[in-house]
Amino acid sequence: MPTLRIPIDGPLDLAGTLALLRRGYGDPTLRLTGQRCWRATRTVDGPATLAIEIRGASLVAEAWGPGAERALASVPDLVGLNDDRTGFAARHRVIAELDRRFRGIRIPRSGAVFESLLPGILEQKVTGEEARRSFRGLVRAFGEPAPGPEAFRLRLPPDPRRLAALPYYAYHAFGLERRRADVIRRAAGRAAWFEATVELPLPEAYRRLTALPGLGPWTAAEVAVRALGDADAVSVGDYHLPSLVGSVLAGEGGADDARMLELLEPYRPHRARVIRLIEAAGSALWGERRAPRMALRRIESI
């Protein structure tokens, strides 16, 4: 069982950082408990399970499975140890306070593009509850048990080849209409092409992430902030994000994308960092002000 120990170079909130990768509290591929993380993933060498925790001034990681060595090599990027804060300035008093409170939250870089792309497609134009339910269903149906101690009880994300081979109607059982099912099938069929974006400059990576019909700027940003470590990613077209940003940075309700981008502009190239701080604060920050909620829908009506 390979092990990695790394000295921590500053504040690190392991759970707060990796929460960005978790798809709800019931995510079968990722478990966060305090400052410990268990993660199931697929690598080019095969499946792997990571166990990561903070011990004193060090980060300690263990791994199991054929992809264990490669998974361990990804840990520094995964937990944000290479996240570069150069040039970040908290220009707003609320952001300055949030940065003080949540200084240990970093921007992760998982390097696992399709593992972020699949949930990103599931989340297109539906509620978070629906998307998380679909994700759990797909993982349980098509993801094998992860390697490592049985007590982890994690499952691997579905193999893209298996998803690509499914007919579109097989996705109906997981609450997916034909449009998203076809996007998943096409993206899964080109999974290796998408995985290669980790080696590309970000502008070129974004062009590739939006080259497939059904993948737009919102999905690309959702993938880039998780898999590529883009600290400037902004999910334009999000249902609730403009209202949150407008409430915090300007005390305004009902902000649209244009207003959100205007308010975030002074924070380039760290706009995703500002967004993460706002999301980490949660409802305690804006009290009774609430972002709009999208109604649940039934697949039969699509």
Residues of the chain above pLDDT 70, percent: 93
Cα distances (Å, whole numbers) of residue 211 to 34, 218, 235: 39, 13, 17
Q: Do 23 and 137 touch, CB atoms closer than 8 A? A: no
pLDDT(183) > 80: yes
Q: What is the pLDDT of residues 219-230, one digit of tens each?
A: 999 999 999 999
- Assigned fold of 3-84: TATA-Binding Protein (3.30.310)
pLDDT the model gives residue 295: 46
Q: What is the pLDDT of residues 82-102, one digit of tens each?
A: 999 999 999 899 999 999 999
- What confidence category does residue 281 fall into, taking pLDDT thresholds of 50, 70 and 90? confident
C-alpha to C-alpha distance for 102 and 83, rounded to whole angstroms: 15
- Domain ranges in the chain are 3-84
Residue 162: count of CB within 10 angstroms of its CB: 14
Q: What is the pLDDT of residues 240-263, one digit of tens each?
A: 999 999 999 999 888 999 999 999
pLDDT(287) > 60: no
Structure tokens at 154: 């994690």
The DSSP code sequence of 197-243 is GGGS-HHHHHHHHTSSTT--HHHHHHHHHHHS--TT---TT-SSHHH
